[in-house]
């Protein structure tokens, strides 16, 4: 702490020489003058002394044949004095202080805490729908009201709080852990055409049996149960496994324009300071390319700063025209079929029929696939209380 104060107020590094310069210590003690960092250099003594004590030393060494010489002026005080005529520095510093003061009244960093399933970007997106975003005035945030508005905008949060600390907004959330059990009366209807292979119904009035052929939209299990003169509405639950067939049709042109990547890549950066974006590049690309952007949030000691770095990555290519042979075209469409089948939720399927038609212009593949799946889909009953 003492060194900080000395640097702020300024001090001198001085050299005492002459006849017996060691006497300066006795004179300093006698007059209560503080000297520090003393060391002997040849026949002289070097010490540090405050500006006030330096002025008091001059009269007490007169007639003592001790000479005093200033070696160095140290401290912020001297640096300011040295640059007193550099008006640009002073004006720039003043503008910086004014800018920081103005910016401190705005929100530049939004931190999300407590979320596990929901990502930060999802919660920030919901915040934006209620008008809370980076760059807004912190005085416009009403923690209590905005907390309620946030919870009303999404059913995935059970609790939330908003805390403003300077230019930083911290949003603490707690996610909904479990949903309430379904207790609305409903039917189970078919979501696809198929032949029923297995029935496992735990509640509801089953209307089909194994071997039946059903179409999409047919009621499989009814949520209405008639008992004498009484009508009971039930939550239908269970699985109806059926053999479902579906047709896949694919086309590929014989003459195609494809991308041939050259291997040339380039990165360009954009710095976002507060909400202002500053491109860190000067040139534009005339070649054809694919690109994607990565976001890097700058942090200090684990805390987000109001600075973001967007890195746009370029992968350059040239377009080439290709004419496929029958063999190449057949292989290409077979690969397309494999990719299409990978999109199926249930991979336990069979290709029951496949037809390939080649012409001078294109190839057409038609395939029938079959797989067993649960076709039961809930349909909420619309009950008129007057009936």
Q: Give the pLDDT confidence of 73-121 residue by residue, as tens digits.
A: 888 777 777 666 666 766 777 777 777 677 778 888 888 999 988 888 8
Helices (H), the chain: 2-9, 23-30, 51-60, 76-82, 87-103, 120-129, 143-153, 326-342
> How does the average pLDDT of the chain come out, rounded?
86
Q: Is the pLDDT of residue 240 over 90?
A: yes
Report the Cα 257 to chain-centroid distance in Å: 37
What does the pLDDT read at residue 3? 66
Stretch 26-31: mean pLDDT: 87
What does the alpha-carbon distance between residue 118 and residue 144 come to, in Å, rounded to a whole number? 22
Q: Which residues contact 186 (CB under 8 A, 6 or more apart)?
A: 223, 235, 236, 378, 379, 380, 381
Q: Is the pLDDT of residue 181 over 80?
A: no
Q: Tell me how crowded residue 194 is: count the other CB atoms within 10 A of its CB.
A: 24
Stretch 39-66: mean pLDDT: 86
User: Do 34 and 12 touch, CB atoms closer than 8 A?
Assistant: no
Stretch 272-277: mean pLDDT: 79
Q: Is the pLDDT of residue 385 over 60?
A: no
Stretch 203-228: mean pLDDT: 91
**The model's pTM:** 0.48
Stretch 271-291: mean pLDDT: 85
Our CA angle for 170, 269, 111, nearest 5°, is 5
What does the pLDDT read at residue 316? 95
Our CA angle for 286, 287, 291, nearest 5°, is 105
Q: Which residues contact 162 (CB under 8 A, 6 or more apart)?
A: 132, 141, 143, 146, 147, 150, 169, 170, 171
> Which band of pLDDT confidence, cut at 50, 70 and 90, is reported for residue 168?
confident
* Cα distances (Å, whole numbers) of residue 347 to 130, 193, 202, 350, 376: 42, 18, 26, 9, 18
What does the alpha-carbon distance between residue 212 and residue 210 come to, in Å, rounded to a whole number? 6
Long-range CB pairs of 284-289 (<8 Å, 24+ gap) are 285/314, 285/316, 287/316, 288/259, 288/316, 288/317, 288/318, 288/319, 289/314, 289/315, 289/316, 289/317
What the block records as the tokens of 54 is: 């330096």
* Cα distances (Å, whole numbers) of residue 231 to 226, 237, 238, 303, 387: 5, 18, 21, 62, 11
Residues 123-138 pLDDT 10s: 999 999 999 988 888 8
Long-range CB pairs of 331-339 (<8 Å, 24+ gap) are 332/252, 333/250, 333/252, 333/363, 333/365, 334/365, 336/250, 336/252, 336/365, 337/248, 337/250, 337/365, 337/367
What does the pLDDT read at residue 20? 83
What does the alpha-carbon distance between residue 38 and residue 40 come to, in Å, rounded to a whole number? 7
Question: What is the three-class DSSP state of 330?
Answer: helix
- Determine the length of the chain: 387
Maximum mean pLDDT: which of 75-89, 248-262, 304-318: 248-262
């Amino acid at each position: 702490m003492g060194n900080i104060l000395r640097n702020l107020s300024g001090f001198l590094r001085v050299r005492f020489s002459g006849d017996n310069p060691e006497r300066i210590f006795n004179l300093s003690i006698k007059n209560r003058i503080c000297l520090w960092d003393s060391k002997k250099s040849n026949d002289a003594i070097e010490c540090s002394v405050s500006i006030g004590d330096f002025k008091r030393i001059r009269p007490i060494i007169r007639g003592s044949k001790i000479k005093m010489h200033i070696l160095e002026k140290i401290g912020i005080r001297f640096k300011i004095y040295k640059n007193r005529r550099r008006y640009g520095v002073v004006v720039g510093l003043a503008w910086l202080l004014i800018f920081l003061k103005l910016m401190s009244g705005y929100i530049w960093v939004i931190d999300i805490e407590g979320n596990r399933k929901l990502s930060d970007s999802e919660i920030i997106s919901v915040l934006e729908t209620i008008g809370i975003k980076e760059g807004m005035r912190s005085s416009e945030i009403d923690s209590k009201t905005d907390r309620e508005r946030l919870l009303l905008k999404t059913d995935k949060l059970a609790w939330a709080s908003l805390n403003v600390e300077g230019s930083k907004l911290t949003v603490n959330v707690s996610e909904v852990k479990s949903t309430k059990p379904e207790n609305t009366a409903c039917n189970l209807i078919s979501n696809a055409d198929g032949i029923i292979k297995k029935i496992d119904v735990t509640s509801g009035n089953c209307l089909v049996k194994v071997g039946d052929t059903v179409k999409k939209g047919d009621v499989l299990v009814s949520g209405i149960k008639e008992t004498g003169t009484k009508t009971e509405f039930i939550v239908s639950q269970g699985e109806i496994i059926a053999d479902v067939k579906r047709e896949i049709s694919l086309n590929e042109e014989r003459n195609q324009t494809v991308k041939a990547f050259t291997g040339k890549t380039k990165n360009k950066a954009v710095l976002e300071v507060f909400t202002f974006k500053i491109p860190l590049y000067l040139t534009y690309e005339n070649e054809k390319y694919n690109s994607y952007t990565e976001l890097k949030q700058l942090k200090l000691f684990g805390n987000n700063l109001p600075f973001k770095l967007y890195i746009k990555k370029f992968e350059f290519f040239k377009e080439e025209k290709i004419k496929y042979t029958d063999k190449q075209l057949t292989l290409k469409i077979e690969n397309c079929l494999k990719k299409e089948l990978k999109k199926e939720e249930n991979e336990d399927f069979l290709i029951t029929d496949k037809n390939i038609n080649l012409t001078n212009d294109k190839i057409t593949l038609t395939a029938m696939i079959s797989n067993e799946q649960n076709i039961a889909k809930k349909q909420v009953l619309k009950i008129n209380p007057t009936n």
